[in-house]
Amino acid sequence: MYLGIDAGTSEIKTLVIDDRGEIVASSGAKLSVQRPNPHWSEQDPAEWWQALLQTISDLRPKVGERWSKIRAIGLSGQMHGAVLLDSDNRVLRPCILWNDTRSAAECRELTAQAPELHNISGNLAMPGFTAPKLLWVARHEPAIFAQTASVLLPKDYLRWKMSGEKLSDMSDAAGTLWLDVAKRDWSDTLLSACGLTRDHMPQLVEGSEPAGKLKAELARQWGLNEDVIIAGGGGDNAASAVGIGAVNPGDAFISLGTSGVLFAVNDRFRPNPDSAVHAFCHALPNRWHQMSVMLTAASALRWLCDLLGASETTLLAEVATLSSAEQRSAPLFLPYLSGERTPHNDPLATGSFHGLTHASQRASLAYAVLEGVTFGLADGLKVLEEAGTSLSSCSLIGGGARSPWWAQLIADVLNMPIVTHQGGEAGGALGAARLGWLADGGDEAIVCQKPPELKHYLPDAGRHHALQKRLGHFRLLYQQQLEARALGF
């Protein structure tokens, strides 16, 4: 039995799989995000730990007597977050999250201070990454920066709480901008540009390797053996890739969670920072991956639901009743509620509805949101193709994968077959459990099999053609936003 823990932005998820790879039980605990100032996004790491304890308490009776047979734990987590600890391992401030965009000026500073940044890290300096956050802290909270003895990523803070070890894996570390992604090692040059050294960083392991053991006291509290190991784990998307079986070159998937990701596996380091494509290490050895990343995806639908006081189930059902004519006349939606990464690298981009009339109903607004997020995925696919990555089909995972209607829309817009899988909504938690299994000696060919397919969605050529006109208008609206901003509006 293997336990997977996914430290997401909106939820801590846990699940247990058996040695056949079957999901035995799962649990989750919701998290809140604090936004005390414009462009800020923070969480208290103590809330993660309490949420984890809650999910373990809920999960344990679901598993029953087999719970004590858990041999290893895998970790997955939201990337780029900065957990700052002092020399006594006290948390110095709330964690600055991946969708926090306050450090735009520090991105320019880092790029100027480290001309080798793009070649070493394979990525542009973006406010979501960890390194600019530390420059921001050094500038605006110098007393906290001076006390900082360790910098941990969110899942690795949970590892430290569980094991007392400060370790991280290659995939998560690649999202800091401090990793030499080709060499899979910390870069002294990039650390120095932020006033840091290797002493501030956790030790590095591959995601499928053992990386600490559960503390004896905690093992007793949780009803587990004291020899339970903790795997290196992975950043949320790399772990999700392991969960969906995207582990070989050419494999690809789309993740619709708080953010939206198009992930493609590579057999070598293939950076293309000019197009804001991310190039990171995979959670498995000797593999890398490229990603296009939207900052707002399924979270845009949740935002609209909160605004309208309606459930996602209700709105999705209403969208499914719209005629083709009603879809063509629906407003257009720019999904940049938290700025945007790929392809714009624009923390100041904003969301908007365009084309509202008296005839606009909430179903047409919901359609516009789903379509706008899908158009953002199309922008990501375009730059991946320009970076030399060719995809013939994609798996679909995450919360958005529960909507057959949305899956079909993605197939039609991208003009690509889309496949959903059993357990696809489990995402990083399933991949984390699989990484735990690998760390316990599991055979990759067995552990990382693709889950059974649920459904194929084939693109409709006529609908694809009709949607291209709206996609062109969508892209024009962003350019007009840029022009308006240049004029001071």
Binding residues for substrate: 79-80
> Which tokens go with 377?
């995925």
In this structure, what DSSP letter does residue 425 have?
G
| Distance of alpha carbon 489 from alpha carbon 18, whole angstroms | 57
- Of 52, 72, 22, nearest in space to 207 by CA: 72
| Distance of alpha carbon 147 from alpha carbon 388, whole angstroms | 44
| Distance of alpha carbon 232 from alpha carbon 212, whole angstroms | 8
Total count of residues recorded for the chain: 489
| DSSP-assigned states of every residue in 45-113 | HHHHHHHHHHHHHHHHHHHGGGGGG--EEEEEE-SS-BEEE-TT--B-SPEEPTT--TTHHHHHHHHHH
User: Residue 149, class by beta-carbon neighbours within 10 Å (0-12 exposed, 13-18 middle, 19+ buried)?
Assistant: middle
Longest dimension (CA), the chain: 66
Q: Beta partners for 210?
A: 231
| Helix, strand, or coil (residue 308) | helix
Active site residues per annotation: 236
User: Residue 475, class by beta-carbon neighbours within 10 Å (0-12 exposed, 13-18 middle, 19+ buried)?
Assistant: middle
Cβ atoms of 435 and 71 closer than 8 Å: no
Q: Which residues are annotated as a binding site?
A: 79-80
Residue 221: count other Cβ atoms within 10 Å of its Cβ.
12
| Distance of alpha carbon 305 from alpha carbon 319, whole angstroms | 13
> Which tokens go with 92?
């110095």
- Of 159, 175, 59, nearest in space to 125 by CA: 175
Rg of the chain in Å (alpha carbons): 22
